[in-house]
Amino acid sequence: MKRYALIVFSIMFFSCSTATLTSVAIDQKLPTKEDDILESKPHTNYTIKKDVDAYPESIIFIIADGTGIGQYTLSYYANGEFAPARFDHIGLVATHPNDGECTTTCKRVTDSAASGTALSAGEKTYNGAIAVDNDKNPVKTMLEWAQENGMSTGLVATSSVTHATPASFAAHVDYRKKEHEIAQQYATADVDVILGGGKKFWPDSLITFYKSQGAQYIEDINTPIEEDKRLLGLFAEKGLSKVYKGDREVSTTQMAKVALSKLDKNENGFFVMIEESQVDWGGHANNGTYIKGEMESLNELVNYVLDYQEVNPNVLVVLTADHECGGVAVHDSDGGDLEIRFTSEYHSANFVPIFATGPGASVFDAFIDNTEIGKQLIKYINKN
């Protein structure tokens, strides 16, 4: 009898438990992909609201392409000394392309062309656009404003010099892949210094023309520089070699030293954009080792430039990114190592930091839209 009662009780218990679990499963269904698709809401493009406390005479604008909080976190834990900690001011930047209210076609993730244009000209545009607006009309960049004000100008990149970010400062084309056309525009753009990769986009005839316009062309960073000529240095067929491979043709810091040695002799001041281009490429490759090497290069560059700024306090130094790439996150691994995880092989809409030191730097202590950086630096260049 006892055995029978136990069997009956067991059947009733497990039947109730199964019913309860089924009820929970119905009431609390497992997450699905649809749960991760969220309705996009109209956003606010936040502006700089602080008053300017001083105007710089010169500007060094560093763009670490594809570098968000995850990449800086990786560098902080993997590269030792964290050079960006030396900056006096820090803010946060939204990077979406296009302006206005969001509709069914609104994009939150930018490419380097649209974000480069936002940074160079202070104007939103479509992905792929190089210093043109949504109607494909040219927009004036801070480098062009600097030239108009008699300042010396320069572009430095570890990608091809005709890649999207540097191109957004000195060329105007409707699509970023037109690098041969961008090189042709550079040849007559009167930029004082252009250093980086991308020889494949400069045929011999264009180099010959460029030199005929009173310019020097070099393929070795140790070549003696002719002070009275504009300078074009191309050190690789495409982008420079990866830092972690150990065979980079020339460091970002070496190029920055050459650029500043030419530019800072102008009594009207100078503007230079220096791009640490390949942090972005490490994100696209989902390769933590690649990112680590490029962030190590950025650390070296930041230390050099901030040392230079300490000796030249009239110079404003700004460091930011055009966007984040890879959705990078840092996790613990075995034995105290780091595990780098990625959410994408493309860019993300994640916010990026901005760091600044020098006259006018305090206005960047804010959460702002990326166009505000372009507008503010143009304001400093025009002293208005």
**Residue 112 a catalytic site member:** yes
Q: How many CB atoms lie within 10 A of CB 175?
A: 14
Q: By the 8 A CB rule, do 282 and 276 touch?
A: no
Angle at 154 between CA 60 and CA 282, to 5 degrees: 75
What is the SS3 string spanning 300-314?
HHHHHHHHHHHHCCC
Terminal-to-terminal C-alpha distance of the chain = 98
Q: How many residues does the chain have?
A: 384
Q: How many CA atoms lie within 13 A of 133 on its CB side?
A: 8
Q: By the 8 A CB rule, do 189 and 230 touch?
A: no
Q: By the 8 A CB rule, do 133 and 125 touch?
A: yes
CA distance linking residue 308 with residue 317, whole number of Å: 10
For 105, phi then psi, to 5°, come to -105, 5
- Give the pair of three-digit tokens for residue 378: 């143009």
Q: By the 8 A CB rule, do 372 and 122 touch?
A: yes
Q: By the 8 A CB rule, do 321 and 68 touch?
A: yes
Residue identified by tokens 């040392």 is 307
Among the listed residues 23, 40, 75, 112, the single catalytic one is 112
Inter-CA distances, 54 with 119, 264, 363, Å: 21, 20, 10
Question: What residues are labeled active site?
Answer: 112
